[in-house]
Amino acid sequence: MINIGDDGTDNRPGIELAEQIPGLRTTIGRHPHSAGEPISADERRELRELAAHPSVVAVGEIGLDYHFTEYHRTPAAAQARTFRQMLGLAQEVGKPIVLHTRDAFPDLIAILDEFPGLQGVFHCFSGNSAIAAEALSRGFYISFAGTVTYPTAHGVIGAASIIPLDHMLVETDSPFLPPQSRRGTPNAPRYLIETVERIAALRGTTVAEIETATRQNAIDLFRLNHAG
């Protein structure tokens, strides 16, 4: 299981948690929602130290989010600056990236192409088959959350139906995005099964096949060993 870091409030606690729970790994992120402040030299040093920790399997969440709300108004230029800084960090520590993107896919791909050689995953995929194809052509993985169980999520459903199984991951995004039967209540990792069942049904296959493939994909992408 991989916990996700978003910013200074949970990057270090994520490592502390991973140290306590066997089999748990974590990531170091600077989410676009908190990308307004540029990364100072001191913070850069701290992020690098944290990202190099053996419990840290990826740099993320990082990315671009143009879905502006009362809570999130970080200008695009500031997001792009922080995103580039974090992509540079991922190259430096040699770890894959966990991408958060909403309504910003073309800009995100353009910046990503400035940093060749990075591997990673489009977390909580919210695009469609065409967008998935662009990500897959760059060798990236696609991760599906509870949204694939929503009857009106046509783009996501289409992508989950056809992308190659060897580049698929699943996740919860909890406490957000509970699967359809739990909408309106907080999400939790144990509800992931509903997402997996939905993907299996879409593809006319078994839950076991989706489980086996996504487990192996996570091991491959995040270079997990089972020592913990």
Site residues (vs Zn ion, CB under 5 A): 61, 100
Question: Based on CB atoms, which residue is closest to Zn ion, 10 or 61?
Answer: 61
Question: Based on CB atoms, which residue is closest to Zn ion, 95 or 100?
Answer: 100
What's the min distance (Å) between Cβ of 73 and Zn ion? Answer: 17
What's the min distance (Å) between Cβ of 61 and Zn ion? Answer: 5
Question: Based on CB atoms, which residue is closest to Zn ion, 101 or 206?
Answer: 101
Q: How far apart are CA 143 and CA 160, in angstroms?
A: 9
DSSP state of 20: H
Question: Based on CB atoms, which residue is closest to Zn ion, 31 or 198?
Answer: 31
For Zn ion, the nearest residue by Cβ is: 100
User: From residue 58, how far is each of 30, 40, 137, 189, 193 by CA, in Å?
Assistant: 12, 21, 21, 19, 24
Helices marked H in 53-186: 76-93, 105-112, 129-137, 154-162
Joined tokens for residue 159: 């992508």
User: From residue 9, how far is each of 4, 6, 31, 117, 203 by CA, in Å?
Assistant: 12, 8, 11, 29, 39
- The SS3 assignment for 90 reads helix
Question: Based on CB atoms, which residue is closest to Zn ion, 42 or 82?
Answer: 82
Q: Determine contact, residues 192/210, Cβ cutoff 8 Å.
A: no
Question: Based on CB atoms, which residue is closest to Zn ion, 30 or 100?
Answer: 100
What's the min distance (Å) between Cβ of 126 and Zn ion? Answer: 9
Q: Determine contact, residues 124/177, Cβ cutoff 8 Å.
A: yes
What's the min distance (Å) between Cβ of 212 and Zn ion? Answer: 26
What's the min distance (Å) between Cβ of 124 and Zn ion? Answer: 5
What's the min distance (Å) between Cβ of 149 and Zn ion? Answer: 18
